[in-house]
Amino acid sequence: DAFRAGAVRVGAGVSADTYLLGSPNPLTGEIEGFDIDMVKAVAESIFGDEKRYQLKVITAAQRIPALEKGEVDIVARNMTINCDRWKQIAFSTEYYRSGQKILVRKGSKANSIKDLAGQKVCAPKGTSSMDNLIKEAPKAVPVGADSHTGCLTLFQQGEVAAITGDDTVLAGLAAQDPYAVVPDQKAFTVEPYGLGFNKDDVDFVRFVNARLDAMRTGGEWTRAYDRWLKDVLGPAPQPPT
């Protein structure tokens, strides 16, 4: 409502603990990453200034309530588009294609979610990662945390044997822990990321979709990928259609 009433900034719900997607720069303290670049693109399109945004740090479980209550105009927090969420909010077109994998300790013999039967596996509460863990590995012991960083803390304390989540997130965790590794494996889900909106903001969604189209065709999407993800995930794929 504030945005439609003429706010001078885009209010965005984001992560502050997902390295490479949304996390503080240790030198400036500013939150940055691939998801934040999506917010900047929206702000630039509306106001002609990519800095005209205000970030609200939220957990994964707070994404939908923040939109429903009008606390933010947009959510850019590696959120998977799925049918259950479509019933509650609106989504942009897909801006990134991820997939769920596992992270384990170096030396672990586990190479897939099926190898973790009887072991504790962490995923953030209120996420599709937790839902998929329960569905795909019913013999594993699910352990919830408020965020993937919370999962990393449990992992480093020896409380869980593995973490599961999107490959983008796990790559960021592995980059922060020399004893963690994302083994070579096939993703067991397809995770299409979308920007989230209040379900009534139909025109706003159409506007952002046009901006995303321009990013895909003009090379801006690939430059954002190269800036944040290329070093850990390899050369840029084709942007999602």
For the chain, give me the number of helices (H) and strands (E)?
9, 14
Q: What is the pTM for the complete model shown?
A: 0.83
Q: Is the pLDDT of residue 8 over 90?
A: no
For residue range 11-31, what is the model confidence (pLDDT) as tens digits? Answer: 999 999 889 999 999 999 999
pLDDT for residue 82 = 92
For residue range 82-96, what is the model confidence (pLDDT) as tens digits? Answer: 999 999 999 999 999
Q: Is the pLDDT of residue 2 over 80?
A: no
pLDDT for residue 104 = 97
